[in-house]
Amino acid sequence: MQLGYVAYYFIPFLYYKPKALTHADFPVSVIIAAHNEHHNLQQFLPAVLQQLYYKFEVIVVDDRSTDDTQKILFELSQQYPNLRIITITKTPPELNPKKFALTQGIAAACYEHLLFTDADCRPQGANWINNVACAFYTDTAIVLGYSPYTNIYGFLNNLIRFETLVSAIQYFSFAIRGNSYLGVGRNLAYTKTCFNSINGFEAHKNILGGDDDLFVRDARDQNKVNIVFAEESQTISIPKQTYLAWVIQKRRHMAVGRQYKMADKVRIGVFMLANIFFYLSLIILLFVETNLSGAGILFGLRCIVMYTVYKFISQKLKESLSVALLPLLDLAYFLNYLILGVSVLMYNKVRWK
C-alpha cells in the first residue's frame, strides 16, 4: 500500500512543475486574525506590509485582544497606509471566534482575491503575495500554499518539521490528483466569490478549527484548486516549544479530521494505517520470529523507497531534512499519530488558546 501511494500520489508531485508565471495583475487582500499577538505582530507584520506587489491591502482583525495589540497596530498603521484594522470586542456565543474574525475580515476586504496567514508567520521573501497570486490560473478559486516551521535545534523541532513535511506531501499530492482535502491557514488563498458560494464557514461555524481544511472540503467540488510551493511563496512559522503544546495543537487538528468526507478519511487513513501496521508488525516479528531475513529485506526496501521520496520532495520544498534522523523521525511520527488518534477517540475535549 505504501509503495502504491508513492507511485500514484507522491511521484507525480515530485515531478510536478507549475506554470512559469512571473507576475499577477489583480489586487489582493491579505487577512490576518490576531488574538493577543502583539509580540508576533511587531516582529512579523512589517514583512507582510513591505511586500513588493503593485496593489494590496493588509487587514488585521484584532480578536478580543487584551495585550498591546491595538497599540502595535496603530503604530504600524501610521507607517503603512495599506494596513487596515478591524476590532472585535465580543464574539457571538454560537460562533467559533477565529472563524467569526476571519468572516469580518473577508466582509471588509476591498478585493476579490484573499490571502490568509497567521500573526506568527513571516513571508519567505518580498514576493510572497506575487508568487501566491500567480497560482490563480484561469478559473482557479483556491490556492494551497506551504508553511514550514523554523529550524531550531532539538529532536522535537525535527519531528514537528517532519510531520509538517509529510502532511504537505499528502495534501499537495492529493490535490494534483483532484482529491484536495486540506489547506493550512498559515498560507491559504481563495476568492471572495468562492467563500460566498458555500456560505463561508456556515457548515462548521461552531466547530473548533477547520477554517482551512473544512473550508477546502466544502469548496473543492465547485471550485478549481491549485497549489504553490516555491520558496518565496512560503510563510515560515514559529513551532511549538514543548511536546505538550504540540500535542494539544495536533489533537485539535485530528479532532477536526472527524468531519472530513468519508472518501478523504479512507485515502488518508489507508496510508497512515499502512505505515502504523508496518511498524507494529515489525516490532511483533522481532519477538516471535527467529528468521528475520525476509522481514529485513522488506523493511530495507520500504525505507529506501520512502526515505528517498521524502528527501527529494523536501529538497523540492526547500525544507531541510536530516537523513540520519529519518528512521527515528518516521517511526516516532507514525507511533505518535497512533497514540494521538486513540486519545482523540477516547477523550473528545480539545483546547484553544
What domains are defined for the chain? 17-154+175-239 (3.90.550.10)
- Here the cell at position 72 is 502595535
In this structure, the strands spanning 188-191 and 140-144 are: antiparallel
Long-range contacts of 264-271 (CB under 8 A, 24+ apart): 264/179, 264/181, 264/217, 267/174, 267/179, 267/181, 268/170, 268/181, 270/1, 270/5, 271/1, 271/2, 271/5, 271/170
Q: Using one digit for the tens of pLDDT, what is the confidence trace for 260-297?
A: 889 988 999 999 999 988 888 888 888 887 777 877 88
Q: Using one digit for the tens of pLDDT, what is the confidence trace for 67-78?
A: 999 999 999 999
Q: Using one digit for the tens of pLDDT, what is the confidence trace for 179-234?
A: 999 899 999 999 999 999 999 998 888 887 888 889 999 999 889 999 999 999 99
Query: For the chain, what percent of residues have pLDDT higher than 90?
Result: 63
pLDDT at 66 over 60: yes
pLDDT at 352 over 50: no
pLDDT at 348 over 80: no
Helix axes 69-79, 38-49, angle to 10 degrees: 20
More confident residue, 240 or 86: 86
Beta-bridge partners for 325: none
Q: How confident is the model at residue 145 (pLDDT cuts 50, 70, 90)?
A: very high
Round to whole Å and give the CA distance between 161 and 27.
32
Say how many C-beta atoms besides its own lie within 10 A of residue 67's C-beta: 14
- Report which of 158, 155, 180, 185 is spatially closest to residue 170, judged by C-alpha positions: 180
DSSP 71-123: HHHHHHHHH-TTEEEEEES---TTS-HHHHHHHHHHHH-SSSEEEE--TTEEE
pLDDT at 350 over 50: no
